[in-house]
Chains A and B, each alone.
Chain A
């Protein structure tokens, strides 16, 4: 297969693994953008989703907004932000944050709303204060869906950070665009494969983290819930 030999010839070339445009440097740029954007998106989206989920007020607006934002073309958002703020790191990261907030917020909101009303009633009934209801009952029970939201946000950010290279910043997407510019297909394909691998690794890491953090009582509840 010449596709594989393409890849191996590029990936096993030692010169591609050093320097400011080497794989380690590009990878850490990519992860850097992802981490910063995701952290800010969680810092904004999680409390908003939790507050709206807890009070039940503004839920329709939130769901509508989240659906609307999903229809936004990533490339359009990216180029608009660059058009407004100019070239640099801020525009792509802003675009990544805008894209990551809706899934985090919608996941948190949906997770809290999906809890049986009787469970929340019991929490108040045994004498929990509102913040205790939220922190000790609603959020722990919403964790599977919260993680779902953060996971899809993370994937979207990893994927969109690739496109961000189009507006002139670093990250693994550079290989794709630089390769396309000079018709170096081996470089394009290698960049794409690296991004795909990164996305899968990030996804698997989140699944593992979710297993660690989510109460086993919720997973067994799920398997029982579907059978009844």
Chain B
């Protein structure tokens, strides 16, 4: 879809921002460019819509050499989302989103109608349309930026550190939103970030750049974590990469053990008799886990088991979609050392142990699913 062939960018002052880049971006997928500052990731992105022209080499989009196209026309066919959104302060939200359709010559009412639709697509209420960017929060502005980029339904989206200026909680929401949107739209997205966690979360494939504009590794995130090409990539992906790599291993073969449960409202005496190895999970009417009770703990409880009288539990492991990482985390964060496994409705189905997770990892290694 997007091809870099021997692309080099040398700026007027002699610095080489991108050095002989060869890379092919898969259609309909999210490709993340990641690396420290000065690694040429943003320059590489901006060369795709000719915001910067390459010094040498060829970039093709859909097989067409971009040097053959008129830059403004090329850009109108490629969505562009930047840091802090870059909304036009003098235009309302709707007018911002309608910018590209208007440039493309759509009639005004059609462009506005499309803009209102898009606000809904990116999860914003239509009433925001008449506000000005300055009246929006950072996260809302960024959503408007995405809506503006989607306005003429371009097959390609370029996103240059779009979420770096918003706070971590909002950023996580925006990332989830992007993944949801991508499931629906299936765009070819090139996403630049300096945050390796964001790259691993969002990327179908991740290109790690090193200072000086050299591509260090281009791979699936799981491969990047499991098999970093060199010390630079290893140190860039970080210390916990072994643990994080578990996130890419499905836990479908993991044995599910038995788990004692007690319903809310049961008496302390009933609860005591239900304990298994000294522990039981408190569940509600839909068998969703509320917390834990233990032998020692029950000695302090009078009467019925309530929400307040149960010990808070750890993370939950979803047996249908969970990874080894989530199974291990469920076990490690549980007060009883038993991870609570739930089905897709959230109902308790059994338990997992850390030992079982490690055995499953060993089995995966033997089967060659995990590189040595």
A interface residues, Cβ below 8 angstroms from B: 116, 118-119, 121-129, 132, 137, 140-141, 143, 215-218, 220-221, 224-225
Contacts and interface: CB of A to CB of B under 8 A. Distances in A.
A68 B265 CA distance: 86
A122 B99 CA distance: 11
Contacts of A125: 49, 51, 75, 80, 82, 86
Interface in B130-176: 132-135, 148-149
A220 B90 CA distance: 10
Interface string B313-346: 0000000000000000000000000000000000
Contacts of B91: 215, 217
A137 B80 CA distance: 17
B75 A221 contact: no
Nearest to B77: A127
A217 B134 CA distance: 7
Interface string B59-102: 00000000000001111110010111111111110000001100
B90 A141 contact: yes
B134 A221 contact: yes
Contacts of A143: 90
Q: Which of A122, A123, A140 has the most CB of B within 10 A?
A: A122
Given A118-B83, A126-B148, A216-B132, A221 B51 contact: no
B103 interface: yes
Contact of A128 (B72, B87, B89, B90): B72
Contacts of B88: 119, 122-123, 137, 141
Contact of A126 (B92, B103, B132, B133): B103
Top-4 shortest CB links A-B: A122-B86, A217-B132, A127-B76, A221-B134
A123 B102 CA distance: 13
Nearest to A120: B86
Taking chain A's interface residues, is the majority helix, strand, or loop, or is none over half, making it mixed? helix
Contacts of B133: 217, 221
A225 B86 contact: no
A126 B158 CA distance: 11
B83 A124 contact: no
Nearest to A220: B134
Given A125-B49, A132-B103, A218 B90 contact: yes
Contact of B86 (A121, A215, A218): A121
Given A220-B132, A221-B132, A221-B134, A124 B51 contact: yes
Contacts of A216: 132
B76 A126 contact: yes
A39 B132 CA distance: 32
B103 A128 contact: yes
A45 B330 CA distance: 70
A129 B92 CA distance: 21
Contacts of A218: 89-90
Contacts of A141: 88-90
A50 B227 CA distance: 54
Contact of A119 (B89, B135, B148): B89
Nearest to B86: A122
B80 A122 contact: yes
B87 A122 contact: yes
Contacts of B87: 119, 122
A141 B149 CA distance: 21
Given A125-B80, A127-B100, A119 B86 contact: yes
Q: Which of B80, B87, B90, B134 has the most CB of A within 10 A?
A: B90
A224 B76 CA distance: 31
16 contacts: A118-B84, A118-B86, A121-B86, A122-B80, A122-B85, A125-B80, A126-B75, A127-B75, A127-B76, A128-B103, A137-B90, A140-B90, A141-B89, A215-B132, A217-B90, A218-B90
B82 A220 contact: no
A217 to B, nearest CB: 3
A123 B82 CA distance: 11
A118 B89 CA distance: 11
A125 B77 CA distance: 10
A140 to B, nearest CB: 4
Given A121-B51, A215-B91, A126 B134 contact: no
B263 to A, nearest CB: 51
A224 B100 CA distance: 27
A49 B193 CA distance: 37
Contacts of B90: 137, 140-141, 143, 215, 217-218
Nearest to A117: B86
Contacts of B77: 127
A171 to B, nearest CB: 38
A63 B100 CA distance: 35
Given A122-B87, A217-B92, 13 more contacts: A118-B82, A118-B86, A119-B88, A121-B51, A121-B86, A126-B80, A127-B73, A127-B103, A137-B90, A141-B89, A215-B132, A220-B134, A220-B135
